[in-house]
Amino acid sequence: MKNSYNVKSKLTLLVVIFFSYFGFSQNNDQEQIKKIYDAALTQGKGYDWLNYLSNQIGGRLSGSVQAQQAINYSKSQLDLLGLDKVWLQPVMVPKWVRGTTEFAYFETTPGITTNVAICALGGSVATPPEGIKANIIEVNGIEELVTLGKDKIQGKIVFFNKPMDPTQINTFNAYSNCVDQRYSGAFEASKYGALGVIVRSMNLRLDDFPHTGSMGYDEQSIDDRIPAAAISTNAADLLSTSLKLKPEINFYFKQNCKQFEDVESYNVIGEIRGGSKPEEIIVVGGHLDSWDLGDGSHDDGAGCVQSMEVLNLFQKTGYKPKRTIRVVLFMNEENGLRGGKKYAEVAEANNEKHIFALESDSGGFTPRGFTFDSNDKDFDKIKSWKPLFEPYLIHYFEKGGSGADIGPLKKESLVLAGLRPDSQRYFDYHHAANDTFEQVNKRELELGSAAMASLIYLVDTYGF
């Protein structure tokens, strides 16, 4: 009886110790996360940083003067945070210039024209100096080119008019399902003798803003490349309706873009060195480059300042990380991904041990949660942290993609993650002239920073 009593007493003591320890640990986590959110909402710097990037510098296309200004500014702000180390990582990037404003119209009868809003797609060749005027043919995606064949396409302008699917609640799924016509449309249409292509903007909203974005010609020779432009959703609907009434419509467009030789640019990097496990590196980042039509506030100025803010919030709350926390502002995500590839290349060469990477590149809207690229064991650990986020209305923890810039880091032992804000308004502004500072809500931006810092705090505390 005595031995039995002793065993029961020891078991009871162990249970008490177990729950006391984990209860104490959870209380610590709750307190630290509350400190992070409080600091983000009262002492954050991100909105001011974004104001400067957007309104004093503007669009930051790779290889541009504005991109270099953004590099200099963001480095100076990281220096002011008093981090353990701040540096620039050289990377060669493409330099594509839009040139003078594009112009387009369609002609229903000789002399009767309607102007439409277009913009050149990033990486496109120019039209001839006099522009291109030809009969236009509408298709609902790349696959229709095969059905129509060369006889119906040769000598014409192809109008890709496959819309984003409005029934998709995750608007990034709707984007993924039709963005191939933007990226590959010109290359595919040229095989059938098309003179140029016009692509419906990747936008769920009906408006007059054409949305640019990257496109490619694969290994196609310069002489075989045809110009490509995006057309606003309102203009696309008007053109489509007009073609149904009168199929022999002529379309005219002119653009003056040009591709130059690659130029040197930089990733901007800053870090707080870990106290007990400095060899283990946690990365948080966004891409510093943007398209040139707006000022890139949502894509991806927001992600950059949120990533910088993570380090600022740790300092504001007095948190001393165990592991090295590194912010990386990647260059050239939009039209080449050179910055992400260079960072991964240097990390590999230096035999660095990255355990976690988080990217914010989905706009500065209200955060809903995160997606994770990880094995099941690590994801189970991540899901155990979910209750800590519920008071802040962060509920979405799912396996999925992470971010384009951190993708090249991928290894079996590395967990990658992406911040997932509410996506319903993102494509209203994506790659368009209305992606501007006034479209970003300060509180939403700050909540995203706090969610990111909280997740990184937990990864730093518990590891994988």
Catalytic residues: 333
Q: How many CB atoms lie within 10 A of CB 245?
A: 8
Contacts of 203 (CB under 8 A, 6+ apart): 164, 209, 211, 232, 233, 427, 428, 430, 432
Residue 194 three-state SS: coil
According to DSSP, the β-strands at 250-254 and 228-231 are: unpaired
Residue where the block lists tokens 């196609």: 220
Tell me which residue of 209, 211, 253 sits closest to 234, measured CA to CA: 209
What is the spatial distance between Cα 326 and Cα 308, in angstroms, rounded to a whole number?
9
Contacts of 371 (CB under 8 A, 6+ apart): 396, 398, 399, 400, 401, 402, 417, 418, 420
What is the spatial distance between Cα 126 and Cα 239, in angstroms, rounded to a whole number?
22
Tell me which residue of 362, 220, 211 sits closest to 293, measured CA to CA: 211
- Both tokens of 44, joined, read 């954050």
What is the spatial distance between Cα 292 and Cα 431, in angstroms, rounded to a whole number?
8
Contacts of 425 (CB under 8 A, 6+ apart): 363, 365
What is the spatial distance between Cα 439 and Cα 425, in angstroms, rounded to a whole number?
10
- Check if the beta carbon of residue 331 is closer than 8 Å to that of residue 267: yes
Q: How many CB atoms lie within 10 A of CB 223?
A: 6
Report CA-CA distances (Å) from 440 to 51, 200, 446, 461: 10, 25, 11, 32
The 8-class DSSP code of residue 12 comes to: H
Tell me which residue of 348, 307, 353 sits closest to 453, measured CA to CA: 307
Q: How far apart are the first and last CA of the chain?
A: 43
Tell me which residue of 318, 355, 328, 322 sits closest to 78, measured CA to CA: 328
What is the spatial distance between Cα 56 and Cα 396, in angstroms, rounded to a whole number?
35
